[in-house]
């Protein structure tokens, strides 16, 4: 079953690769023009196009790309001439680090707020949590980032504005990235917990005289977690997509900023490699989410 599932995911990744390859070759802008500039002669352009394989039919180019990929060869950056594997190796850890902390912040903020809102439904904690989550989910990263910089870096002086080298420099980008997901988690947790709190088994637990904390944590929250885990899994994809903006704003040298740079420079091989990494992470996380789902609820089987 697992093999069948992995094969299915491989098709998804292949589909992403085909789409990315086609889209990149359809958009205007020629890497040869970007590299050689306007003063180059036609013969120079033609020679470089041949060297890069850009003069071949698009299907042949795609075939060559897939063949190389199958051999683990991601190719070279057209502009910096560096092996793309090296470029990714230097960038992927930074993005994972950022996404992991953002997820931790989202869970640390979203779950307690959602629980508080559900337990005090209709009262001020609920109103505050709902209002806060609405504001945060409506606020784009490029706006939230500078606001946080103004408060925590400039006004309070606690954190660096941006960059990667100073202590604590990961916090503001991670908070920027994580708050959007925290808002969604708050609302999801609230809704899911409210539904579970009205179930018979919760009433039974309370009737047994269990402390309220045990009722919430062991009986209600565990059952409410199922849809929340699904949301976390699905939102991880958006979290990675969010790094594109957040990394650019915060000068965080990860895959997101590499993707933006490569698109600007029409560095096709680098763009394809970045999209491949993001697609791989996305399908892997989705699979792991399904596996976690069955672990949380034994009635659900991981069928692949």
- Binding residues (CB under 8 A) for another protein: these are 27-30, 33-42, 44-45, 47-48, 51, 79-82, 104-105, 107-108, 111-112, 146, 149-150, 153-154, 157-168, 170-171, 217, 248-251, 253, 261, 264-266
> Residue 84 CB, nearest distance to another protein (Å)?
15
Query: Taking the complex as a whole, how short is the minimal distance between the CB of residue 78 and another protein, in angstroms?
Result: 9
Do 168 and 160 touch, CB atoms closer than 8 A?
yes
In this complex, which beta carbon is closest to another protein, that of residue 221 or of residue 283? 221
When the beta carbons of 162 and 243 are compared against another protein, the nearer one is 162
**Residue placing its CB nearer to another protein in the complex, 67 or 251:** 251
Q: Widest CA span of the chain, in angstroms?
A: 86
Nearer to another protein, 15 or 163 (CB): 163
Q: Kindly tell me which of 252 and 293 has the beta carbon lying closer to another protein.
A: 252
151 DSSP assignment = I
Helix (H, G, I), strand (E, B) or coil at 67: helix
Residue 43 beta carbon to another protein: minimum distance, rounded to whole angstroms: 10
CB of 114 to another protein, least distance (A): 12
Q: For residues 26-36, b (16+ Cβ closer than 10 Å) or e, as one string?
A: eeeeebbeebb
Query: CB under 8 Å to 205, separation ≥6 — which residues?
Result: 214, 215, 218, 219
To another protein, the closest distance from the beta carbon of 237 in angstroms equals: 22
Whether 244 contacts 259, CB under 8 Å: yes
């Amino acid at each position: 079953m697992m093999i069948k599932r992995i094969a299915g995911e491989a098709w998804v990744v292949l589909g992403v690769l085909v789409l990315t390859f086609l889209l990149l070759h359809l958009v205007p802008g020629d890497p040869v023009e970007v590299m050689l500039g306007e003063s180059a002669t036609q013969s120079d352009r033609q020679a470089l196009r041949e060297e890069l394989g850009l003069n071949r039919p698009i299907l042949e180019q795609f075939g060559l790309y897939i063949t190389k990929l199958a051999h683990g060869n991601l190719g070279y950056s057209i502009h910096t001439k560096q092996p793309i594997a090296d470029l990714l190796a230097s960038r992927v850890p930074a993005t994972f680090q950022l996404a992991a902390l953002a997820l931790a912040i989202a869970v640390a903020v979203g779950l307690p707020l959602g629980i508080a809102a559900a337990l005090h439904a209709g009262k001020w904690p609920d109103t505050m949590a709902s209002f806060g989550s609405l504001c945060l989910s409506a606020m784009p990263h490029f706006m939230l980032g500078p606001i946080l910089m103004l408060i925590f870096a400039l006004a309070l002086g606690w954190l660096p504005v941006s960059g990667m080298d100073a202590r604590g420099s990961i916090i503001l980008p991670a908070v920027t990235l994580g708050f959007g997901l925290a808002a969604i988690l708050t609302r999801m947790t609230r809704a899911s917990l409210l539904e579970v709190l009205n179930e018979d088994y919760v009433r039974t637990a309370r009737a047994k005289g269990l402390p309220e904390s045990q009722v919430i944590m062991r009986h209600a929250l565990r059952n409410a977690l199922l849809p929340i885990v699904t949301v976390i899994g699905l939102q991880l994809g958006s979290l990675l997509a969010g790094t594109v903006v957040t990394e650019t704003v915060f000068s965080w040298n990860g895959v997101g900023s590499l993707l933006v740079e490569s698109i600007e420079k029409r560095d096709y091989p680098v763009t394809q490699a970045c999209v491949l990494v993001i697609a791989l992470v996305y399908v892997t996380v989705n699979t792991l989410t399904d596996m976690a789902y069955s672990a949380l609820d034994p009635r659900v089987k991981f069928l692949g």
